[in-house]
Chains A and B, each alone.
Chain A
Amino acid sequence: MASSPAPNPVKRQKRIDFRKTEQQEVLPQKRFYRQRAHANPFSDHRLDYPISPQDMDWSDYFPAYFSKKRKLDDTADNSEETVEVQSTSDVKLDTKKVEIADIGCGFGGLLISLAPTFPEKLILGMEIRMQVTAYVQDRITALRNQCSTKKEGQEVVPGGYQNIGIIRGNAMKFLPNFFEKHQLSKMFFCFPDPHFKARKHKARIISPTLLAEYAYILRPGGIIYTITDVEDLHLWMAKHLDDHPMFERLSEEEQENDVCVKIMRTDTEEGKKVARNQGSKWVACFRRVEDPV
């Protein structure tokens, strides 16, 4: 991971100290991971992304499922952002691919709820803000450690949180670098940034042109889930998905029977905030149709 100077050295030190603790099982505190609310999807940032999906080394993100592709580069200053490798797996390595993506996952609540719901599937959160990503990473690591050092009376979590990962990335630019054609079966867009002004609509994460890219990455039959508390944005997303020939809307019944919709309503941090403020939540789900012949 390319790392840029952290804005606050004290917080940075706290995060580093936190990670130094051997087999950290304490959950990280959000306040050490604060960052400005919005990141510009057009700008370069200092992102690290593979040249192509074949070049991606997933072992840093799902150490129980992937073997290392390359040696860790000792000279690179990536000690803070890389993940500890755990080799305790009884699963066959390199047989699975990421199948579910939470786009703009924020603080990771959805991932953590999805993990035991789909213990056999690899689920990736993608988040553009570095500190938020770091928080989710530390959160996942702590949860994994809690599971691997099982204490008496502790409930077994299916998958042990080995099946969720978080990566920093700009999903509006680089999804094809991470995912092959038809790789995903589910994509979540939970409470995306609304970009209210018309001038900024191109910055919205659901747009007619981006939908072609999502359709490319989703397999036929795969599902896009959207939820927002901003009615305008809901209408916008539903309209563009409705208009797009590669997507068809799930029926009300299908939608309400989908376990993911239940989780999405209650378990993302943004969703919880909306609930606290007694706001409304709008859901729209769409199936990716077969490719035209």
Chain B
Amino acid sequence: MSSRRHPVQAIAFAQSDSPKLFIAIAETVYAISATTHETIATWKAPPAPVQGKPQSQVLDVTGKAGEDGDATEALPANEEALAATTAPKTEENVESTDVVMADSPPSVSSTVGKRKRSPSATSIAPPETSDPTETTTDPQKSDKKTRNRKKSEKRKAKNAAKPPPPPQPNYIGQLVPIISGNLLAVTTLEDKTLRLLNLETLEVVKEWVLQKRPSAITLTPAAILVGDKFGDVFSYKIPTPSEIEENSEGKLLLGHVSLLTTLTTATSPPSSQQIGSSGDVKKYIITADRDEHIRITNYPLTHVIHGFCLGHTAFVNRLLATKDNLLVSGGGDDWLGLWDWKGGNLLQRVDIRTPVDAMFNREEAKALTEKLRGYNKKRKRREEGAPEVEITIAVTDILEVDGKEVIVVLEGVPAILRYKYTTDNKLEYAGYVKAAASITSLAVQGSRIYFGADSEEGALVSYVDITEGEATAKDFFDGRSFEGQVVEEADVNAVNERLYTAEAFRKGFGGFMEDD
């Protein structure tokens, strides 16, 4: 593979006074006028703090021997993959010498990365005297303990000898305009930070250092909800202009013991049916994880789980709450789930496989298979007996366009799949919009779809209007070149691993922690 243009990995539209498109390319956010298509402002994420682990901290003085297990033990699958390309974690540095119990809910300071701790609990129950009649000992056990200790010491020595990995670019994760506050919420993946930028100037007005790498984001009217790679969801209050300067902290709302892939909110009855400001409206947060779960949690009483939508057999990666208050889910399964989320009922499995297979002729399908296999070094290479054509399905985006149809994007696949509502509120495949290459970002404004594609020849950003009969994509920059960024040949693999992360959530991959 040779050098290529870096695609747009995140895109968002803001219908503010002057409509703008925000695009993220590697570490940079661009604000572009939707009318003139000129760049209005840019913001580049600062480099992440160097995270080399000082030698002295490698030795563990707090844990009991043998207690520790693997050095990477607390990493969820996938975070491990990221860890391989990342310097040791800040949280390790902060916490490895820390024996104080973390307070609850854990809070994130808006000024520095260190967590505050409250004094540990003080409720005390009387200790009991133990039964002295039992005296059997187990020599085998102590044997094993020594063995384990030796093992873990060896492991630590090995870790200590590792040179610190080179600094990684501080990629932009998600972009979410907050129109009411004239703000743009931006997450960055390497320094694990949530920032609020001025929507017009892209100046940073506030930042929160997160505990873990952010993986999902959504808005409520008053807060930004951020999900992380360790499954937790924190809430950050959207500040009013007078609150901007105040210190505010993230609040832990809920957590999965899994990688949190996406989250959204919903109400019941749906907002379209709400009359006035009825007090009976219930609000919910809907979260999904790599372990096939979709969870419905009351909001703001997040200690009450309402229910689950269970049925997926592979990771869930995207959720959409539709205008008719149904839930669409997609991830590693060959189908989208259409749910009555309140009752936890799967109404329809919407086929993705058939349209995808019909999209390509054999040569195209072979080329696509190769491409998909090449995206991530942990992905299965073409092995003896592996089929020539094997298009893996990993949903990376689901959006609703103008309340009329649901569009779906799959990792590596150069098309936007369209699904229309039938009269009985099901989804029916309605063709696809062809893209020049795999789609790396997607946004919707009215009946218009904006997307970034990973191609050298095609447009960096394209748009298409679904109300037009043809629905063919046009170049947003109308042939003009855009400064952007070039991926050097040496970085192609590293960039691919940042852009194409969904399929790697699949289990049975072989690379992750499937220990026993």
Contacts and interface: CB of A to CB of B under 8 A. Distances in A.
Interface of A: 4, 31, 34, 36-46, 51-52, 130, 170, 172-174, 176-177, 181, 194-203, 207-213, 215-216, 231-232, 234-236, 238-240, 242-246, 265-266, 272, 274-284, 291-292
Interface stretch (B23-31, B59-67, B418-426): B59-67
Contacts of B310: 51-52, 176-177
A238 B125 contact: yes
Interface string B300-335: 011111011011110000000000000000000000
A198 B130 contact: no
B476 to A, nearest CB: 41
Interface residues of B, number: 75
Interface of B, secondary structure class, is loop
A42 B67 CA distance: 16
Closest 10 CB pairs of A and B: A209-B255, A280-B127, A239-B121, A43-B513, A52-B310, A199-B95, A275-B131, A275-B130, A42-B76, A216-B305
Contacts of A38: 67, 69, 73
Nearest to B121: A239
B515 A45 contact: yes
Given A176-B293, A201-B102, A208-B252, 5 more contacts: A44-B513, A52-B311, A173-B291, A209-B254, A245-B303
Interface string B245-277: 000000010111110000000000000000000
Nearest to A278: B130
A275 B134 contact: yes
B96 to A, nearest CB: 6
Contacts of A39: 515
Contacts of B231: 209
A4 B516 CA distance: 8
A34 B138 CA distance: 12
A207 B516 contact: no
A41 B312 CA distance: 21
11 contacts: A34-B140, A42-B73, A196-B64, A200-B73, A235-B101, A245-B301, A245-B303, A246-B303, A265-B128, A282-B125, A282-B127
Contact of A43 (B95, B140, B312, B515): B515
Contacts of A212: 254, 297, 302-305
A172 B313 CA distance: 18
B130 A196 contact: no
Contacts of A265: 128
Nearest to A214: B305
B257 A172 contact: yes
B230 interface: yes
B100 interface: yes
